[in-house]
Amino acid sequence: MRENLTPNPVGKSVPRVDAVDKVTGSALFTDDLQFGPGLLYGRIVRSSRPHALIKRVDVSKALALPGVKAAVTGEDTPGTIGLYLKDRHIFCTDRVRYVGDPVAGIVATSEEVAEDAARLVEVEYEDLPAVFDPLDALDPGAPLLHPNLGSYEVVPFIFPQPGSNVSNVFRVRKGDVDGAWDGCDAIVEETYHVPHIQHVPIEPHVAVARWDRSGEVTLWSSTQSPFAQRDLIAQTMGISQGDMRVIGHYIGGGFGSKAGVSMEAIAVAMSRKVMGRPVKVRMTREEEFYCCFVRQGLVAKVKIGGDKQGRILALQVAYYWDGGAYTEYGVNIVRAAGYSSTGPYNIPNVRTDSYCLYTNHPVGGPMRGFGMPEIHWSIEQSVDRLAEALGVDAVQFRLNNCLKDGDIVVTGMVMHPTGLSQCIQKAAEAVGWGKDALPSAPHKRRGKGIAACWKAPAMPPNPGSEAWVRFNEDATVSIGLGGQELGQGSFTVAAQIAAQALGVPYEWVRISHPVDTKYSPYEWQTVASRLTWSMGNAIKAAAEDARAQILAVAAAYWGEERGHLDILNGEVVSYQSERSLSLKKTVIYGLPLPDDQGWIGGPILGRGKFMPTYVTSLDAETGQGKRAVVHYTTGAQAVEVEVDTETGQVEILCLAAVYDVGKAINPEQVHAQLEGGVVQGASSALLEVLRLDKGRPMNPSFTDYRIMTAADAPRRIITEYVEVPQDDGPWGARGIGEHPMIATAPAIANAIYDALGIRFTELPLTAERIYLALQRSP
């Protein structure tokens, strides 16, 4: 579940004495022990303006302060950086585009000195007109935030519109939408709003970089993306990826905020100014709220129609994404929203336009769900409203229209086997759908709601995974991988997959960590709920490779056919001769031939890789193609709420989440992911919003930005899963990490409507918003 933290004072660190120097008797701190007494600290000078030209940056007073070692400005970092669209500088060069944009960096002997020096940096601005609404950004007369958009480097499947604030547009054209409206017995239209929110991981962003005089750069980073950071930072800084090393330790929460590159390149740029000395940069809790990725805002306009037989006939949607000042990662969220715009439903006629728009808000980027919680907020309420207009039960309406095996999805892809219908039924049954319960007091009202969802891993068509399996003398197994552990249990699942494929006890498996791009196998990123599936496939392949080597040696040693041999509980066994052979020492030293005629075997090293080769491109005008994604994970959530009509307070009495996981490699972890995801989803539904006033953050602290605690969590959470195997997953498994957050908000909104008869189109569903709506209600 989401952790809570009482932060340290902004900009201040609390040192911890870890040891005492035996010679000098002076205190040694964690940083000294790991990086030595030469460690320096960096602080960032950030823009106070939402949009302005930079006329002058004067660092002379800062450099004169004792203890200051260097200053960095945009002149030192002229290149652009970005995962899908290279649209941002490490430090601003000609202009700033949001409050918090990095303008300069100070390197000093302590955080305190660096912060004092940062206040001495003088920046002269020339204010420019700003844009704070995505619909305003689309206006042809709006100020251009990126006049050079047409010159930015971009991947082939993202389509910026030079001369506008549109950094990507994704379109879907399926069937005849205009012709379908005449056949509809009911049509529903509505506009929905989703605000920016923050990931608020318990551990803020932190990075340490050292640029050696040899030219080798090492970055220690709290990151979901060691290899992506190596690649992107090396490109931008003009060095070889072979000279750029990223070391990623355990992560204290990520939820997407630590994917790609955000502040880590700043540490590298600072370290270049003080070669040979490591530089540590740590975001304060306040900075974490608006200077790193935030979830993109969204305005969604939906029109949906159906007939009396309970079928959805047509859907028209326009998504206007508030991508913030830079959309280098967010452009792919917009694409994912487009190819998932129908939700998990079979709709014959669809028109979708999904726009990524620059605004002078904080940088929109990946967050758990990657656009799916945002679009399902509108989809699932619209489906509910259409079912009501047609007089069809909401559960039955979803069962009528949900995708089933062999259906053609919105992009023309054939839907793989899915257990979505089972998920919908089980979720509804869990909350007693159709059975009324009395409220706990006369001034309270109860209601039930349901929402279905789907999500595919949103990524390029060819993201790869590597793994290796290496034995030790006692037959314990070291697993090399490049995926990260951020609390989701990926290392546990990796060890289970290796043990199962090899035939050794789980307790024998060791994960080689930290991930180090110099030594670890390649992994694209720890995002998109893809590790169990993609990295799992690579680990399984590596384990099977090692297993095949062992069996080949044993077969030669015994003179038997390999088909008669197996590995069980760490021993090679023969089903023919009933002999057995321990793996201990054998997997390193091999086996002696008879009569001292030599040896066979030797150290066992299994290698494996996986990359999907079957994802195809989509037509830029219609969004149609043979296979848009690798697969979809589907599921449903049902909820019962009780609303206090005197205060507007919502209590979630019961929340049921049921998902098709393909194969549960670790059932307990599946339940844990479902529980944590629905609580985070409920938090975003009822409490969370990053409030901005003309681009300025108004609540960048846990005092004013509320997240759900144990006291607010659903009184009862029911989690269940079904298993319809995925053809390209290890033993049929597919990812489940993000999906539990997707359907929570619309399910709660639908339940509140059932209780009060009032629809809400804007998040969050705070007690204040509900109370005021009740006062306006007749």
For 1-20, b where at least 16 C-beta lie within 10 A, e where not — what string? ebeeeeeeeebebeeeeeee
Residues 6+ apart with CB under 8 A from 743: 376, 380, 451, 452, 453, 635, 636, 637, 657, 681
Q: How far is CA 208 from the centre of its chain?
A: 23
Catalytic residue among 203, 738, 762, 768: 738
Closest CA to 343 of 632, 754, 624, 637: 632
Distance, in Å, from the CA atom of 770 to the CA atom of 772, rounded to the nearest integer, reads 6
User: Given the DSSP bridges, would you call strands 580-582 and 571-574 parallel, antiparallel or unpaired?
Assistant: antiparallel
Q: Which helix (H) or strand (E) holds 96?
A: strand 95-96
Contact of 371 with 457, CB cutoff 8 Å: no
* CA dist 649 → 53, 384, 646, 759, 771 (Å): 45, 23, 8, 16, 8
Does 738 participate in catalysis according to the annotation? yes
Alpha-carbon gap, residue 399 to 422, rounded angstroms: 9
Contact 96, 52 (CB under 8 A): yes
Alpha-carbon span 303 to 177, nearest angstrom: 10
* In contact, 159 and 169? CB cutoff 8 Å: yes
Peptide bond connecting 514 to the previous residue in cis, omega within 30 degrees of 0: yes
Amino acid (one-letter) located at 40: L
CA 748 to chain CA centroid, nearest Å = 23
DSSP 580-636: EEE-TTHHHH-EEPGGG--EE----EEEEEE---------TTT---S-SSS--EEEE
Number of neighbours of residue 202 by Cβ within 10 angstroms? 11
Residue written as tokens 């080769």? 613
Q: Is the peptide bond before 764 cis (omega within 30 degrees of 0)?
A: yes
Terminal C-alpha separation, the chain: 39
Q: Residue 414 has what DSSP assignment?
A: B
Q: Which of 708, 621, 608, 719 is nearest to 672 (CA)?
A: 719
CA distances from 138 to 162, 169, 297, 547 (A): 12, 12, 15, 58
Q: Which residues are designated catalytic?
A: 738
